[in-house]
Amino acid sequence: MRTYTLRSQGSATVAVSDGSMALGLFERTKPDLVVLDYDMPCLNGYEAAVQMRERSPAIPLMLLSACIALPESVISCFDIYFTKGEDISVFLSHVARLVDRT
């Protein structure tokens, strides 16, 4: 849903199925923004984010997850922590703010 919405608004997006693939794509493309789920196979969103921060700390990272009780040590690795139940307009405003920052 969010990928479709971003694409319909003109954003170029790429979706992957696990954290390892996300990290590989990150290293090859240097995106304007990364949106990760916490619960992904291979590397979870936090593990992928830690490695992304080490490689390119200026690229904004958003955690989009159904998990509502993550430790502060996980949340602090991201620029935005957003739960999947929140309204799409709020998601889009976060994306715009993070992309404008880069």
Higher pLDDT, residue 35 or 83: 35
- Distances in whole angstroms, Cα of residue 40 to Cα of each of 43, 65, 77: 6, 10, 16
User: 98: which 2 tokens?
Assistant: 């993070």
The domains found in the chain, sorted by start residue, are 2-101 (3.40.50.2300)
Q: Which distant-in-sequence residues (6+ apart) come within 8 Å of 35 by Cβ?
A: 2, 62, 64, 95
Mean pLDDT of all residues belonging to the chain:
89
Q: Cβ(40)–Cβ(22) under 8 Å? A: yes
- Residue 102 pLDDT: 60
- Please give the Cα distance from 35 to 97 (Å, whole number): 13
Confidence of residue 100 (pLDDT cuts 50, 70, 90): confident
54-83: pLDDT as tens digits: 999 999 999 988 877 889 999 999 999 988
